[in-house]
Amino acid sequence: MEFLYEYGLFVAKAITIVVAIGLVIGLIVNAASKGKVSGKGELYVDNISEDIEDTITDLKRSLLNKDELKAFDKNLKKELKKESKNKEPEKRPKLFVISFDGGVYADEVESLREEISAIISIAQPEDKVLIKLESPGGVVHGYGLASSQIARLRNANIEVIASVDKVAASGGYMMACVANKIISAPFAIIGSIGVVAQLPNFNKLLKKHDVEIEQHTAGNFKRTLTMLGENTDEAREKFKQELADTHILFKDFVSEYRPQLDIEKVSTGEHWYGKQALDLKLVDELSTSDDFVLNAVKDHTLYKVEYKIKQKLAEKLGVAAAAGISSMVSKMTTWSFTANK
């Protein structure tokens, strides 16, 4: 028993140290992220049509016997020779593929705006954009800007397809609804057209320890609810009214881009899975981004467009260390997540 006690004490201390180090590194990384962006980024453009076609060719070759492979390669060589002699190769419309995996603050919009600016500068009327969108939503102003970036494409008369494989909820759906077409995986989480805000209040605890808080404002509602001061019924009502006003703006925005929706029915803050979302007209088609890309490569030239922001060495080390510690902690603990409707 004494051995088990000593072992348990050792494990507890080890976890405490690991978590403490993780918190310190997390604070450092967070402080760095809130500072000045470390230098400009770089735009990467890759022809993924060639990669897909090469993969398909390699798969076909691997399934053939020796004689079939010889005939296949001979025929392929003829086709390539014929294409090289053609002075005017077939011009196909382009499909630009971009990705947005959004966090709470939608910081990823900094890369999105660069990618969209680049596409607008070179796209032709017949070209399209596929945005692979994943986001559970976040702050209103961050996702408002992200949605406005997609609207830039539509204003430039470029067709936009939003593909949701896992989740586009709240601010994520605000972005998706701007697209000309939304495709969703059958079990992707869609919707959550609502607004939520919460904050703790420590006023009673502070009073218990004889700590007084002073807050002075010019303007009755410069501050409504506060974490440290005593909240009033008037402030609570004002805060609720602000949430209601934001919800109205959200509903009006969605209705503008998807007038086919019964907006009152789908703006309750609930989320739905892809099949349900299709029935409610929140999405237009059930499909994964992978299937869409495989079909599009038949008559489009596909280009992956990605803008990567450069990081300083210290930031890279901090992020890598934080990720390593997070991995260690996750091996020691078990977490579960349940999405309730």
Active site residues: 170, 222
Q: How far apart are CA 5 and CA 7, in angstroms?
A: 5
User: For residue 311, what are the contacts with CB-CB under 8 A and spacing of at least 6?
Assistant: 38, 319
Please report, for residues 43, 95, 185, the alpha-carbon distance to residue 46 in angstroms, rounded to integers and kept in the order given.
10, 12, 25
Please report, for residues 51, 121, 140, the alpha-carbon distance to residue 26 in angstroms, rounded to integers and kept in the order given.
38, 38, 25
Q: How far apart are CA 282 and CA 254, in angstroms?
A: 10
The residue assigned the tokens 């990720």 is 323
The residue assigned the tokens 């102003």 is 141
Beta strand spans in 266-332 (E): 271-273, 285-286, 301-308
